Amino acid sequence: MSPFWSRMAVVAILLPLVIGVVYLGGWWLFGLAVAGGFIALHELYGIARPARPLLLAGYIGFVLALLGEELGGVPWLLGGILSTLLLSFLFFGLSHERPSATAAFGVTTLGVVWIGGGLGSLLLVRDIPDHGFWALIAVLFSVFAADTAAYLVGRAIGRHKLSPAISPAKTWEGFIAGVVAGTVVAFLILYRDHDEFLTIGQSLALGAFVALASVAGDLFESAVKRDFQVKDSGTLLGGHGGMLDRLDAVLFAGPAALYAILAFGAG
């Protein structure tokens, strides 16, 4: 099976589940975020093993971050993330091993900020009164549209490398197609509420922010994997890679969407 059709098969299996849980929201979505994020965090700490991440500190900090978001919103999400620093220092002090403190603290906290903060932002988007479901659906479908358009156009006519030092396969042609596709999809989904939630201009801007952030998220994970000389974060999804490989774009798109909506005064 080609990489494209492999990608479509994974989407066809997971998308209905994700949409259903997003519709239910609340603790159902929290549970899905914890499960998927825990797997992604485990994959990150696996590929970053040379830096000796402090696993218990990271896992506890991640759960505290999402639990804080669910119970208290942004302040407690931030509190959970910051607790990772204290937990890292505590577990480092109790350890008999003496790895580089800077590397261990850095990669442990990176995982919670990146994965916990990204997923927590998506949960906060879903919590927006009256419009959270469609706002989160717009984010997820915008990311999917941007990724698919970038892949197809990049393979068909891509000639100019976007970031050859990080991801040689990505092209400027695919990047532009992805941003356009992501912007249009977000606009189409949010248009139904343009008199109550986001204006037409704001919907277009949100789609552009999400599409741009999704590319940044993809490149960010590629940079991390290149640093540790691995191709995929895991093998959970077969040739499709690991959970982190599937979440990398939305982990940046979530915060971009949340703060764009807050900036527009709609959150």
Query: Per-residue pLDDT averaged across 24-47, rounded?
Result: 96
Longest pairwise C-alpha distance within the chain: 60
Q: pLDDT over 90 for what percent of the chain?
A: 79
- pLDDT band, very low/low/confident/very high, at 234 (cuts 50, 70, 90): confident
DSSP per-residue letters across the chain: --HHHHHHHHHHHHHHHHHHHHHH-HHHHHHHHHHHHHHHHHHHHHHTGGG---HHHHHHHHHHHHHHHHHH-HHHHHHHHHHHHHHHHHHHHH-S----HHHHHHHHHHHIIIIIHHHHHHHHHHTSTTTHHHHHHHHHHHHHHHHHHHHHHHHHH--SEEETTTEEEEEHHHHHHHHHHHHHHHHHHHGGGTTTS--HHHHHHHHHHHHHHHHHHHHHHHHHHHHTT-S-S-STTGGG--HHHHHHHHHHHHHHHHHHHHHTT--
Over the stretch 100-123, which tens digit does the pLDDT of each residue have? 899 999 999 999 999 999 999 999
Mean pLDDT over all residues of the chain?
92
Q: What is the domain partition of the chain in residue ranges?
A: 14-127, 131-267
Dihedral, CA atoms, 113, 110, 245, 77, nearest 10 degrees? -10
The b/e string for 33-62 (b: 16+ C-beta within 10 A; e otherwise) is bbebbbbbbbbbbbbbeebbbbeebbbbbb
- Distances in Å between the Cα of 98 and the Cα atoms of 51, 108, 134 are 11, 15, 48
User: Residue 69 is which amino acid?
Assistant: E
- pLDDT band, very low/low/confident/very high, at 95 (cuts 50, 70, 90): confident
Whether 187 and 204 have beta carbons less than 8 Å apart is answered as: yes
Residues forming a β-bridge with 161: 171
Contacts of 75 (CB under 8 A, 6+ apart): 68
Query: Per-residue pLDDT averaged across 82-86, rounded?
Result: 96
The span from the CA of 182 to the CA of 195, in Å, is 21
Over the stretch 168-224, which tens digit does the pLDDT of each residue have? 889 999 999 999 999 999 999 999 888 899 999 999 999 999 999 999 999 999 999
CA angle 176, 180, 185 (to 5 degrees): 150
